[in-house]
A = this chain, B = another copy of it.
Amino acid sequence: MSHPTTPDQATASFAPADLYAEIQQFYARQMGLLDDGRPDDWADTFTTDAVFAEASRLAEPLRGREVIRASSRARQERLDADKIDFRHWLGMLDVRPQDDGSVRTRAYALAMRTPRGGQLEIFASVVCHDHLVRVNGAWQVRQRDLTHDGSARD
């Protein structure tokens, strides 16, 4: 699950402002759906054949929107039962347009939760690599690779 950035990539041209603003808003809304407790709408932001990989957490990637949907519904039920507000905070976004019109992104993410009446806990720093494609005019995630800081490296 290594995504080395070559020197070439580091100096590659930047994504244009309209695309960059669009992807920033895409993530604000996508993570907002998940954090608002709407796992079904969140699952619909993935392509039907999407792959969701979480190195060090998932033995096998989740394959397909319906598998992602089932997983996120189960997760939401646990959060509801435990009365936990959860936030996914993405930032430090890099956007690299691909020749085929798709987009590859890298972002830092913080995972945090606050139990009802309890203290905020920011418990994980994660690096997120996405492959985004446009489907009927809307961005969707075709592939997501999450790498947790502090996990063993190859």
B-binding residues in A (CB < 8 A): 4-5, 7, 10-11, 14-18, 20-22, 24-29, 31-33, 36, 38, 41, 85, 87, 89-95, 106-108, 110, 112, 114-120, 122-125, 138, 148-152
Contacts and interface: CB of A to CB of B under 8 A. Distances in A.
> Quick one: copies of this chain in the complex?
3
A115 B21 contact: no
Q: Chain A's interface: helix, strand, loop or mixed, by majority? A: mixed
A24 to B, nearest CB: 7
Contact of A116 (B25, B32, B152): B152
Given A20-B21, A25-B93, 5 more contacts: A14-B26, A17-B22, A85-B150, A87-B108, A118-B150
